[in-house]
Structure 1
Amino acid sequence: MSDEVIDVSGQRRIEVLEELTPEQADWVLRLLDESAAVDGQPAVSEQGRLQLRGRREGVRHVLLSDTAGELVGYGQLEDRDPVEAPAGEFVVHPSLRGRGHGRALGNALLSESGKRLRVWAHGGHAAARHLAQVLGLSLFRELRQMRRPLRGLDLPDPVFPAGVSVRTFRPGEDDAAWLALNAAAFAHHPEQGALTQRDLDDRKAASWFDPEGFFLAERAGELVGFHWTKVHPEEGGLGEVYVLGVRPGAQGGGLGKALTTVGLRHLAGRGLPTAMLYVDADNTAAVSVYERLGFETHETDLMYRTEA
């Protein structure tokens, strides 16, 4: 199903779709790759890229084409959170910016969300901040990317709480238990806490997935924490603290720090030069832990939203 809108300027065509064709998905991926090569970071998150293929509940795609039918911009709107406003991401090809396409995409997302929108500006560039102001959006979330070198890594041996042991993830066997733990650990996180079996399957099918870098902490047969690492080979072997979570009630005993150390040692053991992670700037406790582990802020992603 689609809802086609012809921009009144006659300079562009905007189409809203619930599902992309394989050809359209390929077009969007090329647009994202070409934009990332110029901008230095992707304009659409990993989750957004995974949602390009197949119909996804609560996900809509906005295609912006020129009068010749060439794709010049893309937006995605995800409306799966029962409380938070729909979340959007969008990008215009670097060679075609400054022509009003970004504003047109932003207004299309605002219209589709019923004027209730959250939108990411990855990298926090000045042009994105200006566009957010033009669209009437206000800053409300800051996500930091932090990095530290892995060469010469010298961290104390991890100390786990009494009765806790660590093993690696067993695909298929651990799926349900991990999804439940992830939902509990990130109950107040609008993206991570909502992961489903399909989302997990998407990641297990990715070329980077390695269960040997996915560590689970358990006590008395129950999962109480995890550290899922990731390797970005296309970025010179950058390692990532992909997701780290601790079950409520098991926090405060040093489990998170111990799991972080296990994952960093794993990444260093693979010969990777650098580790990175994402953390909300207002999570001061986590930021402090990571700073003590040698991480420093590398760049910042900003999220804006409507006041309504």
Structure 2
Amino acid sequence: MWVISVDVVQLTWRNGLDDAETAEVENLLAETERSDGVAPAGEHVLLRLRAHRGVTEQIEPVRADTGGSEHFVVRAEQGELAGYAHLDTEGAASGEPLVAELAVHPSFRGRGVGGELVRALAQRAEVPAEEDPPEDAGRLRVWSHGLLPGAVALAERFGAGRVRELWRMGRGLDGAELAEPVLPEGVSIRGFRADEDEREVVRVNQRAFSWHPEQGGMTERELREKEELDWFDPAGFLLAVDGSGTLLGFHWTKIHPDGSGEVYVVGVDPDTQGSGLGRALTLAGLRYLRDVGCSRVMLYVEGDNGPAVAVYHRLGFERWDVDVQFGR
């Protein structure tokens, strides 16, 4: 652990958090989301916060102690949690950039908390610590969810450029007329079966998203962890299989607490490309979400994936907002 003290805050680095500190971080993330209208960290960060290594692997028995995760915690003078950053280091061994997500409590903005977090992340990633570095070092990526003005100003201050955009697109479902899915000959759709389908879903997912920096690496363990989440419903996890039962693709839907739906993942085996299976699965999932009462639906798509964006436009989706990854 190392500590940096500044005027009104103290920043510490952790490779694991105890139960009390994990709860504080989760509360800070929730408060930030309520204030900004967008979650400051992705779902995988929450999963990491709630996970832990086996006791035999730990120096201390703490939560949020998983391989590939590091935590930066900022406290104010009275000990209040003022800011937090999660650093994903899983790809570091293969030379991939470290990826960070951070949040500053609304009550402590404008007091240098965000700047201290970025400096600490830059130091950890061994990129130039000074502001306005001459170029992107390719070692650190920091997400801004919702592209809020404060995040943009912070990125500009530290000379970080946009290296990736993730669009959030959406459409209404109330009374929507959705075409009947047209499946390739011999293909049918059924629901997900726990303890039976995990291996095949992971296989198809890896083939479908071999190019994707996050989705392509999903493991059976991670899939089973998501099966334990409150929102998981096998009825909304639609699998397309051929006559022999081989999985060809899937549409994993999600229903949020506010009742809105999400095209969580649509994955199709590359060998089926051009068959129309992706569109059919997407329509099947949209019809499912409409029929269970979702009034609107959203999805995430890479901003530079022109063909996918065009498909979603044809299905009635429009861009709502954008997440941006800044590079240092």
TM category, shorter: over 0.9
Deviation (angstroms), 1:149: 0.6
After the TM superposition, which of the residue ranges 198-207 and 139-148 deviates more from structure 2? 198-207
Aligned partner of 2:251 among 227, 250, 253: 227
- Write the distance in 1 (CA, Å) between the matches of 2:221 and 2:103: 26
1:165–1:217 CA contact under 8 A, matched in 2: yes
Q: Which amino acid aligns with 1:28?
A: V
Aligned partner of 1:205 among 228, 251, 257: 228
Q: Which amino acid aligns with 1:222?
A: T
Match of 1:38 in 2: 35
Aligned partner of 1:16 among 1, 9, 13: 13
SS in structure 1 opposite 2:2? strand
1:84–1:190 CA contact under 8 A, matched in 2: no
SS in structure 2 opposite 1:42? coil
* TM-score, scaled relative to structure 2: 0.89
- Write the distance in 2 (CA, Å) between the matches of 1:62 and 1:197: 29
Q: Does 1:124 align with 2:147?
A: yes
- Write the distance in 1 (CA, Å) between the matches of 2:39 and 2:9: 24
- Write the distance in 1 (CA, Å) between the matches of 2:181 and 2:264: 19
Match of 2:211 in 1: 188
Q: Which amino acid aligns with 2:3?
A: V
Q: How does 1:21-100 map to 2 (within 5 A)?
A: 21-53=18-50, 54=52, 55-81=65-91, 82-100=94-112
Match of 1:259 in 2: 281
Match of 1:165 in 2: 188
Deviation (angstroms), 1:83: 4.6
- Write the distance in 1 (CA, Å) between the matches of 2:280 and 2:217: 25
Q: Which amino acid aligns with 1:134?
A: R
Cα deviation 1:112-149 (Å, max 9, x = unaligned): 22221111100011211111122221101111111111
Deviation (angstroms), 1:264: 0.4
Deviation (angstroms), 1:267: 0.4
SS in structure 1 opposite 2:263? strand
Cα deviation 1:212-257 (Å, max 9, x = unaligned): 0001112233211110000002x2x110001111111211221111
Q: Does 1:178 align with 2:201?
A: yes
SS in structure 1 opposite 2:183? coil
How big is the alpha-carbon RMSD for the aligned residues of Structure 1 and Structure 2? 1.2
After the TM superposition, which of the residue ranges 150-159 and 80-89 deviates more from structure 2? 80-89
Q: Which amino acid aligns with 1:254?
A: G
SS in structure 2 opposite 1:162? coil
* TM-score, scaled relative to structure 1: 0.95
Structure 2 gaps of 5+ residues are 53-64, 128-138
Structure 1 gaps of 5+ residues are none
Deviation (angstroms), 1:66: 1.4
- Write the distance in 1 (CA, Å) between the matches of 2:99 and 2:274: 31
- Write the distance in 2 (CA, Å) between the matches of 1:76 and 1:256: 34
Match of 1:105 in 2: 117
- Write the distance in 2 (CA, Å) between the matches of 1:84 and 1:224: 30
Cα deviation 1:82-119 (Å, max 9, x = unaligned): 35301100010011111110010111111222221111
- Write the distance in 1 (CA, Å) between the matches of 2:158 and 2:210: 30
Segments of 4+ moved more than 6 angstroms: none
Q: In the comparison of the two structures, how many residue pairs are matched?
A: 301
